[in-house]
Chain A
Amino acid sequence: MSRPHDASDRQDGGSQAKLEARKITKLFPGVVANKEINLTLNRGEILALLGENGAGKSTLMNVIYGLYQPTEGEILVDGRPVEMHSPRDAIELGIGMVHQHFQLVPVMSVVDNIMLGTESVRGGLLDRESVGAQISELAERYNMPVDPDAIIEDLPVGFQQRVEILKALYRNADVLILDEPTSVLTPQEIDGLFDVMELLRSQGKSIIFITHKLKEVLRIADRIAVLRRGEMVGEADPATVSQEELAAMMVGRKVTLEVEKQPAATGEVLLQISDLQALTDLGEPALRGVSLDVRGGEIVGVAGVQGNGQTELVEVITGLRHAAAGAVRMNGIDMTNAPPRRITEEGAICHVPEDRHLYGMVDAYSVADNLVLGSYYQRPFSTGLTMDPQAIAQHAEELVQRFDVRTPSVRTLGASLSGGNQQKMVVAREFSRPIRLLIAAQPTRGIDVGSIEFIHSQIVAKRDEGIAVLLVSYELDEIMALSDRIAVMFHGRISAVLPRNQANRAAIGLLMAGVHPNTQQTVAADTIEND
Chain B
Amino acid sequence: MSAIAKLSTTSRMSRRAAISLVLALALVAMAVLVNKTPLGEHTWLRVLFGISALNFTLRATVPLVLGALSGILCERSGIINIGIEGMMLAGAFAGFVAKTSTNHWPLTVSLIFSVAVAVAVGGLMGAVHALFSIRFRMDQIISGTVIIILALGASSYLYNRDAIAEGKFSSIPVPGLSQIDVIGPVLFDNPPITYLALILVLVVHVALFYTRWGLRTRAVGEHPRAADSVGINVNRYRYVNTSLGGMLAGLAGAFLVLEAVGQFQEGMTAGRGFISLAAMIFGNWNPFGALGAAALFGYTQALQNELLLAGVTQVPRQFISMLPYVVTIVAVSGLVGRVRPPAAEGKVYETEGSA
Measured CA separation A89–B5 after assembly (Å) = 38
- The answer to whether B210 and A126 touch across the interface, beta carbons within 8 angstroms, is yes
Binary interface encoding of chain B residues 194-232 relative to chain A, with 1 for a CB under 8 A from any of its CBs, else 0: 000000000000100011100110110011011111111
- The answer to whether B229 and A154 touch across the interface, beta carbons within 8 angstroms, is no
Set of chain A residues within 8 Å of B212, measured between Cβ atoms:
119, 121, 126
Which residue in A107, A117, A125, A153 is a CB contact (below 8 Å) of B232? A117
Set of chain A residues within 8 Å of B101, measured between Cβ atoms:
none
A116, A154, A282, A283 pick with most chain B CB within 10 angstroms: A116
A selection of 24 A-B contacts at a CB cut-off of 8 Å is A65-B229, A67-B228, A68-B352, A69-B353, A86-B228, A86-B231, A97-B229, A103-B223, A106-B223, A108-B215, A113-B226, A116-B216, A116-B227, A117-B216, A119-B215, A119-B216, A126-B211, A126-B212, A153-B5, A154-B2, A155-B2, A282-B337, A282-B340, A284-B8
Q: Which of A145-169 contact B (CB under 8 A)?
A: 150-151, 153-156, 167
- Chain B contact patch, size range: 20 to 34
Binary interface encoding of chain A residues 86-124 relative to chain B, with 1 for a CB under 8 A from any of its CBs, else 0: 111101000001010011111110001101111101001
Measured CA separation A153–B223 after assembly (Å) = 13
- The answer to whether A99 and B229 touch across the interface, beta carbons within 8 angstroms, is yes
Which residue in B1, B211, B223, B228 is a CB contact (below 8 Å) of A87? B228
B210, B216, B223, B343 pick with most chain A CB within 10 angstroms: B223
- The answer to whether A284 and B5 touch across the interface, beta carbons within 8 angstroms, is yes
* Distance to closest chain B CB from A314 (angstroms): 20
A485 at the binding interface (Cβ < 8 Å): no
B1, B206, B340 pick with most chain A CB within 10 angstroms: B1
Set of chain B residues within 8 Å of A167, measured between Cβ atoms:
230
Measured CA separation A236–B2 after assembly (Å) = 42
Q: A108-B219, A125-B210 are in contact. Are A67 and B2 (CB under 8 A)?
A: no
* Distance to closest chain B CB from A451 (angstroms): 27
Q: A99-B229, A105-B222 are in contact. Are A67 and B351 (CB under 8 A)?
A: yes
Smallest Cβ-Cβ distance to B214: which chain A residue: A126
Measured CA separation A68–B228 after assembly (Å) = 12
Measured CA separation A167–B6 after assembly (Å) = 23
Measured CA separation A365–B206 after assembly (Å) = 47
A260 at the binding interface (Cβ < 8 Å): no
- The answer to whether A281 and B337 touch across the interface, beta carbons within 8 angstroms, is yes
Set of chain A residues within 8 Å of B352, measured between Cβ atoms:
67-69
Measured CA separation A126–B216 after assembly (Å) = 11
- The answer to whether B229 and A105 touch across the interface, beta carbons within 8 angstroms, is no
Measured CA separation A492–B338 after assembly (Å) = 23
- The answer to whether A154 and B226 touch across the interface, beta carbons within 8 angstroms, is no
Set of chain B residues within 8 Å of A150, measured between Cβ atoms:
2
Question: Number of residues in A with C-beta < 8 Å to the partner?
Answer: 41
Measured CA separation A116–B224 after assembly (Å) = 12
A491 at the binding interface (Cβ < 8 Å): yes
Binary interface encoding of chain B residues 41-55 relative to chain A, with 1 for a CB under 8 A from any of its CBs, else 0: 000000000000000
Measured CA separation A108–B220 after assembly (Å) = 12
Q: Which of A195-230 contact B (CB under 8 A)?
A: none
- The answer to whether A105 and B211 touch across the interface, beta carbons within 8 angstroms, is no
Q: A67-B352, A104-B226, A283-B337 are in contact. Are A154 and B219 (CB under 8 A)?
A: no
- The answer to whether B222 and A117 touch across the interface, beta carbons within 8 angstroms, is no
Set of chain A residues within 8 Å of B225, measured between Cβ atoms:
103
Q: Which of B110-161 contact A (CB under 8 A)?
A: none
Q: A117-B230, A125-B211 are in contact. List 18 more A-B contacts (CB 8 A).
A: A65-B229, A67-B352, A87-B228, A87-B231, A97-B229, A99-B229, A102-B226, A106-B223, A107-B343, A108-B222, A116-B230, A117-B227, A124-B211, A125-B206, A125-B210, A126-B210, A126-B215, A283-B337
Q: Which of B1-49 contact A (CB under 8 A)?
A: 1-6, 8
B211, B230, B337, B340 pick with most chain A CB within 10 angstroms: B230
- The answer to whether A105 and B1 touch across the interface, beta carbons within 8 angstroms, is no
Measured CA separation A69–B337 after assembly (Å) = 41
* Distance to closest chain B CB from A518 (angstroms): 24
* Distance to closest chain A CB from B45 (angstroms): 39
Set of chain B residues within 8 Å of A104, measured between Cβ atoms:
223, 226
Measured CA separation A514–B311 after assembly (Å) = 67
Smallest Cβ-Cβ distance to A154: which chain B residue: B2
Which residue in A103, A119, A124 is a CB contact (below 8 Å) of B226? A103
Q: Which of B313-346 contact A (CB under 8 A)?
A: 337, 340, 343
Which residue in A89, A118, A151, A491 is a CB contact (below 8 Å) of B230? A118
Set of chain B residues within 8 Å of A121, measured between Cβ atoms:
211-212
